[in-house]
Every structure is written in structure tokens, then in C-alpha cells.
Structure 1
Amino acid sequence: MAELAFGIIGNVIQKLGSVAYQEFTLSSGFKSDLKKLKRTMSIIREVLLDAEKKQASDRLLRIWLGQLNNVLHDAEDVLDEIEYQALREQVVATYGSTSTKVRHFFSSSITRAFPFKLAHKIKGIRERLDEIAAEKDQFNLTIMRGDAHIMHRMRDPTHSFVHASTVIGRDEDKENIINLLMHPDCSKNVNVISVVGLGGLGKTTVAKWVYNDERVVGLFQLRMWVCVSEDFSLERLIKEILKSARCTIDPDWSVDTLQTVLRQQLRDKKFLLVLDDVWNEDRNKWIELRDLLIGASEGSEIIVTTRGNLVAFAMSTDSTYSLKGLSQHDCLSLFVKCAFTEGEEKQHPNLLKIGKEIVEKCKGVPLAVRTLGSLLYSKVDEREWEFVRDNEIWKLEQKESDILPALKLSYDQLPIHLKRCFAFCSLFPKDYRIGSFPLIHLWMANGLLCEMTSDKKQDLEDVGHSYIKELLSRSFFQDYEEETIGFPFYSFIMHDLIHDLAILVAQGECSVVDSDNNDIAGIVHHLAFSKIGQEVPKCLDKLTNVRTVMTTIDFQTLPLSLAEACILRFKCLRFLDLSDSSFEVLPSSIGTLKHLRYLDLSGNERIKLLPNSICKLHNLQTLILVECCELERLPKDIRNLINLISFAVTIKDTCFWEKRSLNSLRFFAVTNCPRLEVLFQGMDQYLTNVRTLAIKDCESLTSLSHSIKHLTALESLLINKCPKLSLMGGEKDNQDLKLSLRTLVISDLPKLEILPQWLRGSANTLQFLRIEDCENFTALPDWLPTLKSLHALEIIKCPKLSSLPVGTQLLTALRKLKIEDCPELSRRCKLEDYPKIARVPKVELDGDRILQHKKMTRSRG
């Protein structure tokens, strides 16, 4: 909770320092209160990192943090009101207003009533915050800066011995790693093998088993084992390596003497060094150590065990071995060892049956199996076993060496911004495949994404992608899958135990509401609904400052009563998911949600019109209206959504906008619009920020090319199932365009015969090109080899395409070529056109059989 408060304080302080708020204080007359508010927040912020460390063992401190969190949310809401007011002014200044009343309201920068109302709110917040700040002294909190947001906790040191009989289910892993040791890269004196995996998977155990194998013992002249943990200081590591090499160390030796002794010990020796439990991601620190080790004999090896791929990358890993979970059979064998004395399980068949169900919760993680098995050791009461089976792991009491404390080590190592983002993942169900788009926009709507410090302004979506990649690299997410369309959309899941960890750290901030869980803390700000009936849950009555309302995979239809209750009650909402609801008319009160950043109405098959009040949502960043098949048209003031970044829509109208601009729009998706004839009309000068455009199932759409010249920022373009669409019109005007496309996917366009000339404008940027199910596509253009950045080319179900153009071999950046269901083209690529693709590393021609043929052809050559 402290890390969440830390982030909110940062956002508030940043806003108070912005030009908009400085202008507001000059006109409002309560500059003093805002100045005091900023100063008090800065003081509290300095001790929050210490509070994070101490809150687990101090109930009063947790209560204090909860009170602080509420005040900070209120402060952020008040400042957002000022921001909203500035946006309203911007709308009227840009577009004007037909209402004399509204014009009068904006006759000055801020109306007279508005600052007095806010002054009262800000004064109240400042007084509450002053009281909380005064109470902090009782907790003896110390100021922490710099890298103090990372909580350094030493795990118990490991040693190199393991009894082979205690290791279950890791025979194949052991053999694979030994095989890597026995076949090193001979061009290097010292090779590095990283064993990577989730905390508790048994990386250390496998490393011990390899370390003590007779073949390994005979392979190296010197073997050393060092438990690194979080302290990657050069002096300590040299000492630990020398100790493991049985070298006597003088405590008065300097670092220079230590490094000299180490190099002498290793010179001309073939050694194996295990660096267990490495967390260091600083490549420079590793290079310092590596330079002292490279004087050894050829074939020396270092095995690194770590939880993160970033560590493996920093340590110049030659081979990365990703450790997976144990099978259910092996997990059950381990559980029996931990929960029963030898042979006892045969006397308690009912307990063994419950034990099998308990093992399923562990999802292949040995430490989780040991934790739950040890909890039940010597217990024969079935009710105690059922209690463990039926409760989430995070609710069960655990020792420091058990699974959740072990996983929390990974969480404690995260920087503050990632801790906050990870906590929000608790809102998704277990085994749920999380999409990058909704997760990034959930974070964005709640102000969790911060621009990186750089000269170039960074889009928040890009920041969100970088956060996900970092959490993936640290093993918080797994089973990564990319969308096949080539867009930057992908998905992943959280291991059940990581999900338990997310719930644990998000307590008091995020909660899932269902028919079995109505006991919600009054301080919760983010809700996910699951398995809710038609009745509005009574637990909502005590909630005041809810910012997120989302639904889960369990929903078929969101009850209207619940949706309406959320709109009416929660005026501070930032993220509202009303997908698959059944509104005929969206309540006009939606316009009162002035903080709203994300609104999803997708799958609403009854709604015909949106109230014009929705256009008051000037903060709205994302609006999803796909599969709203009865939606007749957009509100007339849609242009007032001046912050709209992402827009996806299904509509019955014949066109979208006439002289209506959405200048901030970066993602635009149009799907299943059967009457749409014109995509953009009178919008040409307003499209310069669109980065992604997706058009699908628009059977009446006839032309796109006239708008192409204005899409100068476009990076990804998807066009699918538009039978009347021609991409060739206006070729003379568009052939010299300077575009920046990176991805182009064209599918099911029967009118497409050849690629349009305007694509040549992306010769230096296009990386991914797919042409699929285009029955009349006859030829790739002779300028195709000018696409110097093309990495992947996929041609699928284009039966009239018979050959690759001359010069295809000049596509030196091409790494993947896929051709499928193009009979004549596939035949030529195997024979006379093969020289054109011989240099491409990965070629797929109607399946793996052709890959084998290609390899055989190479070997025969």
C-alpha cells in the first residue's frame, strides 16, 4: 500500500508543478493552501519507502497508510477537477458553443463559483493531510532516497550439497544442463549457462544435482559454489569464490590483493563456478567480475541461477535454460514425502484424494508443494486438509522459507512503478489470458504510466509495453503469445501463485466482487465483478472513491441495475468496463463522470444511440464501441473528446465525421460497418497522429487512398474483408509519399491485384507485410526489393500469384518468408526461384516438409 501512496504523491506533486495549476492558483486566490499541500506531501513521501518495509509487522502503520491513501486519492481527484475545467475551456476556445449560458460560463478563465468550491475542498484535504503527517512521528520512520524503493532482503545462504534421493522429477533437466556443460563454445575460455525460472521452481536444487554429478566432478579441476543473492559487490564475491576454492584469506587483504590471488588460483585451470540466486542486472558489475575469471583454461563454465531474463542478458549468457514446472505425478510424489511419514498415505486414502486436489493448486512449483505438504504433516483431520484445499495460498500461514515469502522477494525487487502496475493484475481471474491492450489502458486510466526521462516525448502506450516486457523478463508473466496480425498486441497469463502474490500485495486497494465475496474493505478503489446476480451487491454502499469497475471472463451479460448503479454512485471513475451489457439507452448521467479515461461498451447489441452528454468526457482516452451492431450514428459533439487516443467502433452510418476532428487519436479501429462508404471526410488535416488503423468487415467501403497522404504517423495498417475497397485510386497523387508504415496486413480483398504505389513511401520503415486470401492478387511489384527494412513477408491463399519479382534476393533484412496455398509460387520457390530466397534464415513453404527439402538442397549444394 505504501508504494501505491508513493506513486500517487508523485503524480500530485507533478501536477502541482505544472503550468496549468500555476495559472489556476494565480486566478483562484488560494495559492498558499496548494503550496502547503505540496510541501507536506513531499515530507511524507520521503518516509513512505521506510513505511513499506515496516508495514507488514505493524498494524497501526498499515491503518495509517490506509488513511493516507484515502486522502491522496481525494487530493488527486480535486486536482483532476482543475485539469478537467482547463479541458472544457480548451473545447470552447477551439469549437465555440451554441449556448449563451455556456459562453457566459466561460467568459473568464474560471467561473466565480468554481474556485470557491475547490478552495473549500483543498483546505479540507490540506488539514487532513497535516493531521496524518503529524502522526507519522510515532512510527519512527526514516528518510529513504535513491534506490531505497528496492527492499533488499537476504534469503538464507545456499550450499552445494543435495542428496539425489530427495530430488524428484528433474532427471531430464539435469541431463540437458550437463549436456550443455560437456559441449561448450570452444571459442571462449569461460562459458556462461543461465538457469532461469519462477521463484520456488527448484533452480538451486537442479544446480546442486548437476554440480555433484560424477561426470561433472570428473570434468573440472576446480568446482566452486557461491550464493550471490542481492549483494553483487566485487569484493564479497571474490572472497566467497576463494573460500569455496579452499583458499585461505587474510582479512586485511585489499581488493587488489584479492583479485591477484583469485587470478592466480584460476590460471590454467578448468573450473566450474555456480553463482546461485543472482539478482544483479547491472552489466558493468558483471564485466568487472568476468574479467577476473577469463584467464582460466578453455572449457571452464559458470552456471547462473536467476529469476529474470534481464539478469541472464546482463551476464552475457551463452545458453539460457528455462526451468519448467513439475508434472502432476511428480508433484504428488513430492507432496506425499512432505505430508506423510513413509507408507502412511496408504492408511489414509481420503487424505490422499484431498492431497491430489491440493497439489493441483501448486501448478508444478515444488516449493509450493513443500509448503502445503509441510503444513499438513502429522495432521489426519480431514477438515484441516479441506481447509488448505479450499483456501487461497495467500490466506494460509507461512514461514519465511515458504512459497509466498519466496515469491515476495521478487516483488520486493521491483521498482515502485512496476509494483503499482503488478498489483492491478489481481483484478483478472486465475488462468485468464491478459491482453496487452486492456492492461496498458487500465494502467493508463489510473495514472500508473510515467514517461521515461528523455529528450523525446514518449507515448504512454509505449511506456506500458516496456512495463509488460520488464514484468515478463522477471517471470511475473508467462506463456507469452503474439497476435498473428503483426500489430503490437499480445497476451500472457500469470501463474496461479503469482496471482496469489498480486492479491496479497493489492489488499485494501483492489478487490474482486462476486456472490461469494461481499466483504469488501471500504477503502478499496478498484473493483472487478464476477458471478453477480441482478441484485446490486450491498457492499457497494460503503464504497466512495471507486476508480475502476471492470468485468471478468465469467460474465455473459452485465446486469443493467449494477451498471447504472456504478455510473450514478462512483463519480471518480477512471476505468469503466460495460462490455456485453444490454443498454437500449445509455444513461445521460454518463456525462457526469468527468474523471473517466476508459469506457468499454463493446458487445452491446441493443444500443442505438449514445447520449450527447458522453461528449462532456473531455478526459476520455479510450472508447470501445465494437460489436454495437445497432448503433446508428455518433453524437454530434464527438469532437469534444479532445483527449481520445484509442477509438474502436461498429456503426450503421454511411460515414463517420464531417468536419469533426479528434486530434489526439492514435489508434482507430472500424469493424463490421456494412453501410460505411467513406472512412474520412473533411478530416484530412486531423489524422496526423494516427499510428494504428484497423478496418474490418466494411462491405460498402470503396476507397481509402485519398486519406493515405494525411496519415503521416501511421505505423500499422490492417485491412480485412472489404470486398469493394480499392487501394489503387489516386496513385498519381500518392506515389511519392513519405510514410512510416511498419506493419501492413491485407486480407480478403478481392479487388486487390497489385500493391499500391503509395506503399513505396515506407521503403525505409516497413518491417512486416502480409497478403492473405486475395484471390485476384497477381503480382508482387518490381519495386518490392526497395523495402530495405522488411523483416517478414507472408503470402497466403493468393492462387494467381506465380513468382517473386527479380531482385528479391536484395531484401537483405528479410528473416522470415512464409508462402501457403499459393501452388505455382510455392513450386517456383522450391526450384527456379530458390536462389531468390536462399539467404532468408526462415522459409516456410506449405509446411515443414519444404523446410526439410530446403535444408537437403543446401547440403547437396
Structure 2
Amino acid sequence: MAELIGGAFLSSFFPLVFARLASKDFKDLFHKRLVKELTMTLNCINQLLEDAETKQYKKPLVKNWLDDVKHEIYEVDQLLDEIALEQRKSKAKRFFSTLTNPFESRIKGLLVKLNNLAEKKDWLELTESYDGAVGLQFSKIIPTASLVDESSICGRKGEKEEIINYVLSTNDNGKQVSVISIVGLGGMGKTTLAQLVYNDQRIEKRFDLRAWVHVPKSFDVVGLTKTILRSFESSADGEDLNPLICQLQKTLTGKKFLLVLDDLWKGNIEKCWEQLLLALNRGSSESKIVVTTRETQVASFMQSDHQVPLQQLEEKYCLKLFVKHAFQGKNEVEYLELESIGKKILDKCGGLPLAVKIMGNLLQRKFSRDQWEKILETDLWCLSEGDSNINPVLRLSYHNLPSNMKRCFTYCSIFPKGYEFEKNTLINLWKAEELADEIGNLKLLRYLDLTDTKIKSLPDSISELYNLETLILEGTDIKKMPKKIGRLNHLQTLSHFVVAEKRGCDIKELGSPLLKEVSIVRCSKLKRAPLPQHLPSLQKLKIDVCEMLEISIPKGDSMIELDLRRCDRILVNELPTSLKKFVLRENRYAEFSEEQTLVNCTILERCNSSSLPFSLHLFTNLHSLSLYDFPQLESFPVGGLPSNLETLQIENCPKLIGSREEWGLFQLNSLNQFLISDHEFENVESFPEENLLPPNLEVLWLFNCSKLRIMNYKGFLHLNSLHTLDIENCPSLESLPEEGLPSSLSNLLIEECPIIREKYKKEGGERWHTIRHIPKVYIDDIEQHK
């Protein structure tokens, strides 16, 4: 960083000096000619800084010149401070104008030194930049979303498929949860690759739970555990570690989950990995953890089962990525003129995707051949990273920052490496040095994320951020919303809206016509709070811990996700017909005023109730149905299950499972995945009954069926498409079908079934011969064919 300070901080410091010299208070104290001469000399030096900043790396004399300039500019600034202080003390500005000015001789002395420095430009071969040394023009930085646009990615398809294949594979390492590490240099594309895997449809369908967690370089184990819990959409209250670990265990027990830990460092994971692993190992043996890291030591420490070392991007993909960014907005003629230079510049990026993208974005704003050649021929390329510890592409990008961003960035160099400082403290230091504007001037701010900060209230002035589109407040202790938040007419996402019991923002303030996503939380005393009906863009609505709430869901054709949790007395009058995902969890007395028909709904999750308020067969597009904890539910509503259902998950619904032969599963030709989990499993001697399951079933899970004794051969006879059978925690199960399992079966997983474990294991198992034809057999996470 030190070499940046000599020029970069100066180029950002000059505007402040010019502003003070141009003030009326200063001009009134000195002769007009002296002020003009000082300003012109400083301006001349300022015009040399851009060239000097670049040449200092190759020419030590230029670096010495920059050091001298820095010293004299600081002297000027200190003198200006002294003058301002003396003015305030004297309270008589005419004192300096009527008598001999005590500061005039010092200014003249500084002027002589500055003139000498300016005259060295020819000797040092420095050229002036008449655009000033404030950096080249740039476009505004747009905050990126957590998802990835696959169409914008070039290459990495091989690595993506390699990771997906491993993530989808069954566990054959003898461990509970497998770890896959993506290892590579910074900017190599590790996070992007992990995002591609995470958002692949095959991954989405395979796992019950998915979570993406970015791990900060400095964190505490409590904060990380809470972040993981929230990512799994589970509650994360309190600051004690033990209850949080227990909650994580409860959330993951028996679940097939995918957890991505992005940007791990050795120092930050060693201190908590063992504690986290105890909870993570409660998940299904098919669960996977994907890690991205720069350090191979991290992959080794976490005992990764599979490593994917990322290499430089192939030349053809580098070119494709470069063209996508550098030639955006340029016509075909410009492309032909600049293509040859672009390829030479591309060679200097070393196959680093981030470097290619940064360089492409930098050149996209330059339209002349001369500008491109200037970038190609700059001395900054000639330095290896070892010369300055800064990647040449990133250094180039830095040198093209505008001065207002440079001066804040370079100020951080006063802190030693590894020093931790508070955000607000740094902002106050910037303000004290007049390096940053007040936050009130951030009227163009579009994205504000305050997740897991200690903030307890929002200022009313936030309503002045008229361009704000996203406001994320998860994990904060905010008890009420500021007044007039409804003025944020461009707001699209609000992750945490709290209605105060007494004073504060009313729920009626939610009236932004662009609002797409909102979460209303912890309104325990709220009884009647009709949501604004004019929310034409609302797509996702989540209401959590509003025990007494009676609501009317906003009408419209855009609502696609509705999530109601811990709303014990909720009364829903009407549901949008456009819903595609509907979640009801821990709602004891939820009521619906009329029959609901959601023809577009594809995912339905519901728990803690004695009945279903819907005629499910009317959900013509429903492909996934999950029911949890219905101890009193005896049967499905009249009409049965939807005809297009693909996945059915039933957990802890003992009376409902008792009527399973009345469900009509055999007629559901589209059903390919079925999960059943119930500790009671009343009056079951064998399972499945003949012609109970549909012939197209591909995956069957049996979890926590403590009373199940026998697997019925006749129930498997027609299952010619079944490829995976997963039996876990069925301690009373005595045998698999004597006549064998379907020939189509390719994966058999048995876990925590002590009786059949001994009978069917390869070494010494008396029934091993009945299952040895199955390609992959795992008993308590040990592959039997090895």
C-alpha cells in the first residue's frame, strides 16, 4: 500500500486544498497575485500526478519527487489550518490586511519550493494530464445479487459438472457428511462456480434444505452459527452457543442438506469447526458441504473428500468474457479496430477471470485506440505482484478510481496489517479529515444491508434515501420502523418490517408500488393490520411471530410465495391464485374463511394443524407437498391428492399414515419421490402394502419408523423404476423382502437399523447374497462393495 500513498493520496488531497485557497476568507488575507501564483503552481503539480503515479514504480527518482510533493502539500495544509485557527481567535479579519501578514512570508517560502518541484517535470519526463489527476471517468457500481446469472459466465462447465456429480453421489467415505473444497487464487472464480452449482435445478430437487453462508474473515462462532441457522430458515435467537448448536442439530436431524461455506480461511474456521460438525453430522448421510477457499490448508483441515483446484481460465473463454465486458455498447467497426489490442491486453491478465472482467469493464468506458494503447503500454504491467503485493490489473483499476474514492481508500493505509477497526469509527475519521461527505448525501443509495449489526433503531432520515431499492435488516434488534418509510417509493425488497406496539410506522406505510419482497416479523400484539391492497409488484410475503394477526393478503397477479410462521390465530380471507409456493409452519389455529383453489401452486408445506383447509386435488400444478406434525389429521380432504404431484413428504402424522391405503397413491403416475417418517407407525406389520405405491416411483425414503418390522415383497413387485431406497433409524426392522428387491434398484442405504445391519453386511451377513446385485450398497455409511 505504501507506494500508493505517494501519488494516489495526493491526487485525492488536492481538491480539498484548492477549495480552501478559493474561499473568500483566504483570498481576503493575501495579495491577489500571490494567491493566483500559488494556485497555478499547485495546479501544475496536480496535472503531473497521474503520470507520476504510474512511473514511480519503475523510476525511483519519480517516487522521490512524489515524496517531496507530499511533504510540501502537507506543509501547505498545515499552514492553512493555522491561518483558519488564528482567524477564529482574533475575530478580526482586517488584522491581517492592515498590518504585515505574519503568514505571507511562509507562503512565499512554500511557493519557492513548489515552483522548484514543478520545474523538474522535463528532467523527470513527466507529462501533464489536462483532465486532472482525479482518475478517469467511470460508471456507477451496481450492487450484485446473491444469485448468479449463468448466461454471463464463460467456461467452468467441466468443473461445474464435476462438483455436481460429486454432490449428487452417495456417501462412500465412511463419514456422515461429505466435504467438497473449491480451491484457487483470489479472483479465480470460486464463488461464481459454487453459485452455479448451488442454483442448478438438479441440486434444488435433490436436497431438503439448502443454505449459502459467506464466512467473514473475522467472526465469532455464535455469529456464524446464527447465520447458518437463518440460512436454513430456522430461528436464531440469543447469544449463548449451546442452545444455538442444539437448534442447528434439531433443524438438520434426518434432513438431506447442502451447505455452502464461501471464502473460508484457516484462521477463522479452526476455532469452531468441531462444534459445528457435531450439529452438521445430524443430517442425512447424503448431505454435502461445499467450501470455497484460497488455502489448501483449509481443505486439508476440513478433511475434504474431494478437492477441485481451479486453474487459469482457458484462452477462448477469457476472450469471450473480455469481449462481453469490453465491447458492450461498441459497434462492429470499433470492435475490429480494437480487437488486436484487446487480445494483447488480455494476455497480461494471466487467465484470471476477475482480472479479465475488471480490465474489460475499464476498457468498456474508453472508445479510442490511443486510450487502449496507453493501457497496454503502461509500466504498471511490468511489475510482478512481488514488487508491490498488488495484482497489476487491480492496480490499474485502482489508479482509474475517481479522487473521492481514492482518498477514502488510501486513508486506510495508516492502519497496520490485520488491524480491526469499527465501521463508524472509520467513517468519523474520514469526516474529521474532510475526506467523506455526510451520510445524508447518499441520496443515490440503492442497496443497504444491515444484517447482524447491533443497530436497534433506524433514523427517520432514512426516508430521504429516495432511490433505495433493497433494505435488509435480518438479525437486528430493531423494534419499530421509522416514520415516513412509506416515502421510499422505489423500495423493492424489505426483509424485516416491525410494527411497534405503541408509536412508530404503521403497517399501512407499506405502499410502494415497486415492492416485490417483504417480511413482517415479531408483531406479537398486532391483531388487525390489513396490508395495503395496492401492492401490484409484490411477489414474496413472509409473516413470522405475529400470534394474534388477522390479515387479508394483497390481491394481485404477481404474488408467487407466501410464508406464514408462528401466527397462532391467523385468519386468511383469500389467497392469490398466482401463488406457486405456500408455507404454513407452527400455526396452531390457522383458519381460512373459504375454500382455496391455487391452480398455480407448485410447493405446499404445512405443519401443526388438525386439518387441511384445501381440497388438494384442485391444486392442479402442485408438484411438491410436505406435511409436518399433524398428530390429529386422519385423512386428506375429499378429492384426494393432486394428479400432478411429484414429491410427497409426510412426517409425524401418525393417524394420517394409518389411512395410507385410502390416499390413492397408486393412481399418481407423476409421483416419483416419497418420504415417510413417523416414530409411531401404528399397527404396521409390513410395508409397503401391495399396490400402495405408484409404479413410476423412483425414490423411497423411510425415516424414524421405530415400529416397522418387515418390508413387504409384494409391495415392491411393480416398482420397476425404483432406483433409490433409503432406510434410516428403523431399529425394529427385521428383514428386507426375502424374494429380493427390484432389479432397477441402484442405491440402497441402510443406517441405524441394528438388526438388518448384521444380516445384510458383506462381511459375514447371512442375507448379503440377496442384495449384492445392487451396484451401491451403504450400511451405516460404509460402502459394502469395496
TM bracket (short chain): 0.3 to 0.5
Q: TM-score, normalised by structure 2?
A: 0.43
Q: Higher helix proportion, which one?
A: 1
- Find the structure with the greater CA-based Rg: 2
